[in-house]
Amino acid sequence: MTQRIAVLGATGSIGDSTLALLKAHAADYEVYALSGHSRLDKLFDLCQSFQPKRVAVPSAEVDSFAQRLQAAKLDIDVVGGEAGIVDIAQDSQVDTVVAAIVGAAGLPSTLAAAKAGKRILLANKEALVMAGPLMMQAVKDHQATLLPIDSEHNAIFQCLPPVIQQDNTQIHQREHGVRKLWLTASGGPFLHQSYADMQKASVAAAVNHPNWSMGQKISIDSATMMNKGLELIEAAHLFDLPESKIEVVMHPQSIIHSMVEYSDGSVLAQLGSPDMKTPIAHALAYPQRIESAVQPLDLFDLAALEFMRPDLDKFVCLRLAREAMQSGMLATIALNAANEIAVAAFIDEQVKLTDIALINEQTLDNMAQQSLQTPGHIDEVIAIDKIARKVAAAQIQTLLA
């Protein structure tokens, strides 16, 4: 039976990899809906190629985009803004939602998909960073299926027994013997450079990842190790473990994507070429397997696999993420919000790369002094997110003064 897929964030790198797989397996998957935000010419081309039933664009672009589609004789329902994306995420015709919208903007639609009981392929880690307890409860209450397609979380998922894959609370049962999770981190472009080098880094240098082809935001997060910090928080929610049982290890080759350590001394690792089509293909077909067209890993070609402890004096964001997870939901919301504002300021060349961690830490300190209640609803999450963004923006203005 053909699966109908909604790709939210279709014009990004995850969208590219997903759509390449869907095209290669067109007999099994139908592209039912797409969404895009800024690259609307690319989204239009995708509409021509895949002819989805629905497409979501920014609210101000609905009429003009609909006219372009009509002129091209494409009969596609065009919806606008966050409400339109949410409507697609919970559309009764959609079987699987690929949640690939970057940042906090992806939270409402991902939560809507969970509440609609969908099969969710999760690339938007911010949904769990900001609202992990709400997301995981919605998945449970509405019998949704949540499959991670971040390479690290997908690797851990693959290394866990099926009973834990299907019910994460089973991870606590002694008979399964899970002792610790290991998240691998490439270290990005500054692994072997000094803090002083990071202080002088240009945007071009920060996005020049040695192993992965990713979007600008996630590449900069990789350079500061904030991406790994967000993944740490995401893993804690996905696999129902405290952050103290999740270790981060530097592995510059990006061949081992993550590991699970067991009580009998076994460490199970998932290996593969650094290509996002592998975890996406795994989640698309789970529990079966499909061809991904990824270059097979040649073990004879591997010179060495290196592992080292992360330098928390250089990669301050990783330390901040662990501390935020220890503090709770208010802190993780604030950290994600501050980081998005700080990264945008770095891209605009207002602040230095190393200022991102400073802005994040100052925002966390400021938010900790405010009398805020832990949110129990998405509207409260978004309200706290907005407060933290204002605090972070004020910190940037102080730096510029």
| Residue 311 neighbours by CB under 8 Å, 6+ apart | none
**Residue 210 reports pLDDT greater than 80:** no
pLDDT band for position 211 (50/70/90)?
A: low
pLDDT digit string, tens, across residues 106-119: 999 999 999 999 99
Residue 4, pLDDT > 80, answer yes
8 A C-beta contact, residue 122 and residue 110: yes
Residue 212: pLDDT over 70: no
* Domain boundaries 3-148, corresponding CATH code: 3.40.50.720
Q: What is the mean pLDDT of residues 59-77?
A: 97
CA angle centred on 235, ends 180 and 33, rounded to 5°? 145
Q: Give 328-400's CATH code, choosing from 3.30.750.210, 1.10.1740.10, 3.90.480.20, 1.10.3720.10.
A: 1.10.1740.10
Q: Residue 315 is encoded by which pair of tokens?
A: 């990669």
pTM of the model: 0.94
Domain-by-domain residue ranges, the chain?
3-148, 158-275, 328-400
pLDDT digits (tens, 9 = 90+) for 172-187: 999 999 999 999 999 8
| Residue 302: predicted pLDDT | 87
The yes-or-no verdict on residue 213 having pLDDT over 90 is no
Q: Which of 247, 244, 242, 209 minimizes the C-alpha distance to 228? A: 247
Q: Which sign does the torsion angle of CA 258, 296, 216, 83 carry? A: negative
Residue type, 71: A
What integer pLDDT is reported at residue 303 of this predicted model? Answer: 81
User: How deeply is 293 buried, as exposed, middle or buried, from its count of CB atoms within 10 A (0-12, 13-18, 19+)?
Assistant: exposed
Structure token digits, residue 215: 């979007």
Residue 56, helix vs strand vs coil: strand
The predicted pLDDT at position 276 comes to: 94
Average pLDDT, integer, range 249-269: 96
Whether the pLDDT of residue 215 is over 80: the answer is: no
> Phi and psi dihedrals of 254, rounded to 5?
55, 40
Q: Which amino acid is at 258?
A: S
Query: Which residues of 220-361 form beta strands (DSSP E)?
Result: 246-250, 256-262, 267-271
Mean pLDDT of 61-77: 97
17-26, 96-105, 211-220, 275-284: the lowest-pLDDT one: 211-220
Across the chain, mean pLDDT equals: 95
Q: Is 270 buried (19+), middle (13-18) or exposed (0-12) by CB count in 10 A?
A: buried
Cβ distance 391 to 366 under 8 Å? yes
Model confidence pLDDT, tens digit, residues 123-167: 998 899 999 999 999 999 999 999 999 999 999 999 999 999 999
Contacts 24+ apart (CB under 8 A), 204-208: 206/346, 206/353
pLDDT confidence band for 207 (50 / 70 / 90): confident
Mean pLDDT value of segment 22-32:
97
pLDDT per residue as tens digits for the range 267-285: 999 999 999 999 999 999 9
The pLDDT value recorded for residue 117 is 98
